Amino acid sequence: MEIAAKTGNSNPEVGGITFDSRQVNRGDLFVAVRGTQSDGHMFIDQAIQSGAVAIICEEDAPEGDSEVARIYVPDSQKALAHMAAVFYGHPSRELQLVGVTGTNGKTTIVTLLHQLHEILGFKAGLISTIQVLVGGGAARPATHTTPDPLQINASLREMADNGCEYCFMEVSSHAIDQDRIDGLDFNGAVFTNLTRDHLDYHKDFREYLEVKKRFFDYLPVDAFALVNGDDKNGKVMQQNCDAEKYSYSLRSLCEFRGKIGEMHLEGSAMTINDIEVWVKLPGRFNAGNLLCVYAVSVLLGQHPEDVIKALSQLSFVPGRFETFGSKRGTTGIVDYAHTPDALQNVLDTILEVNVGGGEVITVLGAGGNRDKGKRPEMARIAAGASHKVILTSDNPRNEDPESILDDMMEGIPSDLRDVTMRIVSREEAIRTACIIAGEKDIILLAGKGHETTQEIQGQKRPFDDMAILKRHLKG
């Protein structure tokens, strides 16, 4: 990247880097980044008053204090990512870094990869929607699926310094589009699938696809590009990609192939590359996730037999088909499913493992200030695959919850409206599901998964689906 400097103080001593004007310390370099909500160029004067000794800004930034160094760049977001990598000593080069992208499955796959490598005796780091683990100390709650470049590189530096050999991280489409992963050296990239999501951010599905593909376009020749062979978009990801290409599949011949034998609520029997294994995670979508985990581990150099043994020990990921059984025989399931495809997968799995023949009661919400088009589609899927549906709040954010429920109701067929309820209060909806559920029935709480807060009108309030489910089922 070309950087042109225009400065009155040619050699400022830079102490740190920040793009948040509220966190500028004396001696810092301030990077003016154009965001989706605000433009960092508006806060340059504020950053200087707080003690910034140098400014990174884009070429059309207004002139300002001539005593403070200004470095003009074509794209300050890209500059921030590359500077962060340099500032922290390129920590990604000291780790085996694998990024997982796709609409569904990212969190499960990176978490299981972290689990598996710890079982095999390796020290590994994790950057996921749920948490950040740096190889020592307590888990840190995540704020984004993929953090900003400073946070990423700071975490990777801690991992490397703590002796981690591997890092498994989720790579969101927002992160790719906003250049948050620029400057990182990936040893491998994984594509899980692509279905409707984030169309409130991307213009259309085509743009969503192209953004995902950019991750693979910049992989080096010595990296691997692993894609889901059961998703037609996998081949698109590998077009014009210089990395070694591999695929995994439950349905067709690939380098890594799997087959499901039996499925139960407690787990599944499956075959991976002709080796039989019992896994604790139920469902066809989890079988695909575990096959992916096997493939990545082998591509990283682990022995196939060791990987198979470790697969049988892996446990559930919080908020991903997480189950709880009451004494009276009712089963509750909490899942993060917040896209039409993910919801369909979860309900299909429940149908396949519902050997007791109980009714399925789905409690479903949709997020506010997000893609409105998927609301009726998700409601339609829930109604078509459940005996009873309760439409409720998810994270309404700044929208009227009743308006969100109106959008969802449009997807309920007229002949299924008599088995559909709408209850704005999510806790009341969960309580109602627990009251009407009988022995052998299954309650699915979809949408929030691992989240422990609910966002309403700018405020985040404590809210944990699993904790509330347990309380009402026990009661």
The CATH code of the domain that includes 26 is: 3.40.1390.10
Residues 123 and 260 in one domain: yes
Asked which of 74, 99, 122 is the last residue of a domain, the reply is 74
Quick check: is 316 in a domain?
no
Question: What is the CA angle 172-174-177, rounded to 5?
Answer: 115
Work out the number of other CB atoms within 10 angstroms of the CB of residue 50: 17
d(CA 181, CA 362): 37
Residues 132 and 102 in one domain: yes
| pLDDT at position 66 | 64
Rg (CA), the chain: 24
Residues 221 and 113 in one domain: yes
- Which stretches of 172-243 are DSSP H helices? 173-177, 205-217, 233-238
Asked which of 250, 283, 311 is the last residue of a domain, the reply is 311
d(CA 352, CA 54): 60
| pLDDT at position 327 | 92
Residues 390 and 468 in one domain: yes
Residues 53 and 108 in one domain: no
CATH, residue 198: 3.40.1190.10
Quick check: is 294 in a domain?
yes
Quick check: is 82 in a domain?
no
Pairing outcome for strands 331-335 and 322-325: antiparallel
Give the tokens for residue 351.
């149908």
Q: Show the domain range for 446.
A: 322-474
Quick check: is 305 in a domain?
yes
Give the tokens for residue 3.
């950087």
Residues 265 and 356 in one domain: no
Residues 259 and 204 in one domain: yes
| Contact predicate 162/133, CB 8 Å | no
Please tell me the total count of domains within the chain. 3
CATH, residue 375: 3.90.190.20
| pLDDT at position 460 | 92
Residues 439 and 349 in one domain: yes
Which amino acid would we find at residue 424? V
* Digitized pLDDT (tens) for each residue of the chain, 475 residues in all: 333 333 333 344 566 888 887 888 888 999 988 876 778 888 888 888 888 989 999 877 767 666 788 889 999 999 999 999 999 999 999 999 999 999 889 999 999 999 999 999 999 999 998 899 998 777 787 777 778 999 999 999 999 999 999 999 999 988 998 999 999 999 999 999 988 554 555 466 788 889 899 999 999 999 999 999 999 899 999 999 999 999 999 998 999 999 999 988 889 999 999 999 999 999 899 999 999 999 999 999 999 999 999 999 999 888 999 999 999 999 999 999 988 988 999 999 999 989 889 999 999 999 999 889 999 999 999 999 999 999 999 999 999 999 999 999 999 999 999 999 999 999 999 999 999 999 999 999 999 999 999 999 989 999 999 999 999 998 7
| pLDDT at position 112 | 98
| Contact predicate 379/406, CB 8 Å | no
Number of Cα atoms under 13 Å in the Cβ half of residue 245: 13
d(CA 429, CA 364): 9
72: β partners: 4, 57
Residues 394 and 297 in one domain: no
Residues 59 and 100 in one domain: no
Report in angstroms the alpha-carbon separations of 254 from 47, 198, 227, 407: 54, 30, 10, 41
Residues 179 and 293 in one domain: yes
| pLDDT at position 5 | 35
Asked which of 74, 105, 133 is the last residue of a domain, the reply is 74
Quick check: is 221 in a domain?
yes
Quick check: is 461 in a domain?
yes
Quick check: is 379 in a domain?
yes
Quick check: is 81 in a domain?
no
Residues 249 and 384 in one domain: no
- pTM for the model: 0.87
What is the number of helices (H) and of strands (E) in the chain?
14, 24
Which amino acid would we find at residue 197? D
